Amino acid sequence: MTFFKNLKFNLKTKIVLVNVAFITMVLICFALNLSPQTFISHRVIMVFETILLICANIFNYILLLNRLKISNDEFLKYRLCRNCKHCEIGIDSLLNQIFMTTPDVIAFMDTNQRYVMCSKKFYDLFKISAPEIIGKTQDVILTRQQVEITRKYLNEVISQKKPMYYTQKIYINNVEYIYDSISSPIVSQNNEVAGILTMSRNITETVSLRHSFERSNQKLYDLINNSPNLAYVLDEDGNYIFGNEKGKEFFITGVDYTSSGERIVIKMDKFRDEIINENRKIIATGERLVKEKELIATNGESYWYEFTKTPLTNTSGDYYAVTTIVRCIDSEKRLQEQRETYIATLSHDLKTPAIAQVRALELLLSGQLGEFNESQKELLHLTLDSCNYLYDMVYTILSTCKFENGEISLNYSSVDFVKLTEECINECLTLSKINNTTIVFEPVGKSCMAMADKTEIKRAIVNFLSNGINYANTDTVVKVSVSMHDEQVELRIQNSSPYIDSDTMNRIFRKYVTHSEKFNKVGVGLGLYLSKKIVEAHNGEIIAESTKDNTNTFGFIIPVSVKSLPIKRLTEFSTTMK
């Protein structure tokens, strides 16, 4: 205010400057409160208080310009600089215009808390006119309880001579409204409070939304926190951001509890670098990762966990963090191991008598022990076929268990895939005749050389070929082709059979999944699963295609020069998807 007093302007110019300052402050105040969420922040409230205090001081300066001796009674009669003869601008009309357009509820009161001037929003809110409220107290518009609460705040403003922020509930026609208010004292030159300036903003909708968000967040938090799974969110550098209590404890301290309630401590520091590298890759690619991992506890025991990782995006759509859901699958793994051990033991016990039966029947059919008539030979051939089928089934189960346990190492040699495929076709000719199908071999070239384990890759070819014959429509052709391109060998077996939808196609390569019953066939659901394992062990890819014109194609692609890679166990495989 000393700045205005020292300027050598006439009274008219000074008042214009004061008006401009007041309007600017009020407009800034309105602009700062465009967002309800911003409005309720403490920092904006402080700015809001400061602006109102400045406005109050400006009014105090206007009073001083008129050299009025202000008392409580005179303040009620005072209407700014109405008696100023040198002022050609009506400050009354200027303030009235502001009060008519402001979106906030503004009121000036004297120290007896009688209304002196109010904004249009104030009149609209309480559905009252100026003559009905000017010079009267809050008892006219508020309930007794509301008046007591408001007077408590205003009395503190007067006694402490400083602005006060508060939230109040107002009931109009039995409807509750919530307002954020700031009241600031108007202090005269002799440091006496001459009046109170109050500005209020309706935050009913904001509070309702905030409570709704809080309830929703609480429900989500309760759901996550009561989940049996461990859940947490990490940034790109592996720093913990958020999670449920169990997830936080697991990630930070490694503590978890088994299904029986046993407390275990995982050595998390052993794979933190792996977590960071995985998270950075997920954030970079935006791909979801599902994997199973065996973790070692401080007691020396190992426990199996399934990790599901999904990237999170910010408001700009950029990936910035990874949410991780961890599930202990140790009991499932133990049960699976027991089942596999039982199957492997049973299969091993069946293998010896099965091969003995096969050799005995082959000896009988050779004629070394005497000749048989045609009926007897037919019966022996049927028995031999049955024993061979049993032996192949037992061998498939044992091979699957060995592949999963990493007990098979591939013996690579140079293999001619044209000749190998011809051998497989000859072995399946009897099956083809039984199913009334014709096998047509279409090799590209006389030979197709590649490095592979001949025994294992032959098993995969036979599995694909026998499946193609078994499920083909009767009196149709099964086409087999072998080709080489881009340093890769490609084998395709195509038949005419019912369309396979995408969901079924994804399942048929799983263990113990078979559709034999649907086609009145016999099978254990390991043929395609084992074939997939063999192809992947050769660093190859499976071909599985089906069209709605009832044409299905299965096979594989493997590189010509396969590097000897360690066989992956089933539990080490991970699945990625967008």
**Looking at residue 9, what is its pLDDT?**
45
For the four alpha carbons of 162, 163, 166 and 168, in that order, the dihedral sign comes to: positive
Residue 574 lies in a domain: no
Output the pLDDT for position 521.
46
What is the pTM (predicted TM-score) of this model? 0.41
Q: Quote the pLDDT of residue 520.
A: 42
217 is a domain residue: no
Taking phi first (over 0 means left), then psi (-120 to 50 degrees means alpha), and beta for anything else, what does residue 500 get? beta
pLDDT at position 354: 77
Confidence of residue 410 (pLDDT cuts 50, 70, 90): confident
pLDDT in tens, 534-562: 898 889 999 999 999 999 999 999 999 85
pLDDT confidence of 523, banded at 50, 70, 90? very low
Mean pLDDT across the stretch 35-52? 46
The answer to whether residues 143 and 280 belong to one domain is no
One-letter amino acid for residue 170 of the chain: I
Higher pLDDT, 403 or 374: 374
Which range is least confidently modeled, 20-24, 233-237, 248-252, 478-482? 20-24
What pLDDT does 417 receive?
Answer: 94
Kindly tell me if the per-residue pLDDT of 450 is higher than 60.
yes
Structural domain range at position 454: 408-565
Residue 78 has pLDDT above 50, yes or no: no
Report the SS3 class of residue 47: helix
Residues 400 and 430 both lie in one domain: no
Based on the fold, state whether residues 545 and 475 are members of the same structural domain.
Answer: yes
Q: Calculate the average pLDDT of the chain.
A: 77
- Same domain for 364 and 509: no
Task: Choose the most confident range, by mean pLDDT, from 11-15, 386-390, 504-508.
Answer: 504-508
Note whether 85 and 187 are same-domain residues.
yes
- Domain check: are 361 and 402 in the same one? yes
Question: Per-residue pLDDT for 260 more than 50?
Answer: yes
- Quick check: 33 pLDDT over 70? no
Average pLDDT over residues 140-154: 89
User: Whole-angstrom Cα distance, residue 136 to residue 131?
Assistant: 9
- Tell me: pLDDT of 43 over 50: no
Is the pLDDT reported for residue 436 higher than 50? yes
Q: Is 570 inside any structural domain?
A: no
Q: Is the same domain home to 363 and 453?
A: no
Q: What are phi and psi of 519, to 5 degrees?
A: -110, 20
Whether residue 29 contacts residue 199, with contact meaning beta carbons closer than 8 Å, is answered with: yes
Of residues 336 and 203, more confidence is placed in: 203
Whether residue 389 is predicted with pLDDT greater than 70 in this model: the reply is yes
Per-residue confidence (pLDDT) for residue 330, from 0 to 100? 86
- Domain edge (last residue) among 328, 348, 374: 328
Is residue 268 situated within a structural domain? yes
Domain C-terminal end among 140, 175, 207: 207
pLDDT surpasses 80 at 51: no
Same-domain status, 266 and 244 = yes
Q: Sorting pLDDT into bands at 50, 70 and 90, what band is 408?
A: low
Whether residue 97 contacts residue 26, with contact meaning beta carbons closer than 8 Å, is answered with: no
Q: Identify whether 573 is part of a domain.
A: no
Nearby residues of 4 by Cβ (< 8 Å), 6 or more positions away: 14, 17, 18, 61
Report yes or no: 527 and 555 within 8 Å, Cβ to Cβ.
no
Each residue's pLDDT tens digit, 126-139: 888 988 999 999 98
Indicate whether 192 pLDDT > 70.
yes
Quickly state the pLDDT bin for 479 (edges 50, 70, 90): very high
Return the minimum-mean-pLDDT range out of 319-328, 331-340, 348-357, 509-518: 509-518
Q: Is the pLDDT of residue 529 over 60?
A: yes
Structure tokens at 84: 């100023």
Beta bridge partners of 243: 232
With beta carbons less than 8 A apart as the criterion, state whether 168 and 181 touch.
yes
pLDDT value at residue 355: 76
Mean pLDDT of the 47-54 span: 51
Say yes or no: 89 and 22 in one domain.
yes
- The answer to whether residues 319 and 194 belong to one domain is no
The span from the CA of 466 to the CA of 254, in Å, is 50
pLDDT tens-digit map of 268-289:
887 888 888 999 999 999 999 9
Q: Which residue has the higher pLDDT, 188 or 183?
A: 183
**Number of domains, the chain:** 4
Sheet containing 302-313: order of strands: 240-243, 230-235, 319-328, 302-313, 288-296, 575-577
Residue 542 lies in a domain: yes
| Mean pLDDT, residues 328-356 taken together | 76
Q: pLDDT tens, 160-186?
A: 998 998 888 888 888 888 998 999 998
Question: Above 60 in pLDDT, residue 79?
Answer: no
- Lowest-pLDDT choice from 43-52, 227-236, 432-441: 43-52
* Amino acid 380: pLDDT: 85
**Domain assignment present for 214:** no
- DSSP, collapsed to helix, strand or coil, labels residue 124 as helix
Q: Which CATH number goes with the domain that contains 233?
A: 3.30.450.20
Per-residue pLDDT tens for 451-473? 998 988 998 998 899 889 988 99
Residue pair 553/545 in contact (Cβ under 8 Å)? The answer is yes
pLDDT for 425: 92
Q: What percent of the chain has pLDDT over 90?
A: 21
User: Are 384 and 431 part of one and the same domain?
Assistant: no
Structure confidence at residue 348 (pLDDT): 66
**Looking at residues 437-463, what average pLDDT do you find?**
89
Residue-level pLDDT at 156: 92
Examine residue 502 and state whether it is found in any structural domain, yes or no.
Answer: yes
Residues 303 and 338 placed together within one structural domain of the fold: no
Mean pLDDT along residues 106-130 = 89
Which of 345, 375, 406 is the C-terminal boundary of a domain? 406
Region 187-214: mean pLDDT is 85
